Structure 1
């Protein structure tokens, strides 16, 4: 794997150009991969379904992570109009393409958990 050229590394707040940095921007932050995992388990999910699946996650963090994933193009937010408008979230093709990355994270983490006893 080639290193990122120094010119690809950018200060925080700027758009990342290094491939690893781009991936981390899409998955960065505690809980982000788990929110994505929950979306992978179903075709679409309402906010309440995600909140129930991740009960230790506060509403603020869940909202922040969904906004982050939406901005990264990993998740789409769909709003059904009407008196009781409903919102659900769906993984994009870009979000589904992260499956091998998240799986590799799981394998690595499982091996560390086993090594610790």
Structure 2
């Protein structure tokens, strides 16, 4: 707090994380001493379903270039399912789409292995 006071127009402070813990644990520290010194706040909204679908397509193209989705509706459905986690502390936005791709890849590998054994 002292550094913020002494370096008034020279210091930029960026706090990243989930909104509620940042507000309660960091800005609430020392009875609001930090909160009163931070005049401008910008909270980034969660990605929309459309943005999550675009992120999924992009991550899929980068991480699994040999994989192809037969119909884009499957990407949109998956993005909608990921988006249902919005508002929970565990919602991870774009990271959730990577996890989705990883699970889909594991399941496809298991299917291919099972088919080859049959």
| TM-score (normalizing by structure 1) | 0.21
| TM-score (normalizing by structure 2) | 0.21
Radius of gyration: which is bigger? 2
Structure with more helix by fraction: 2
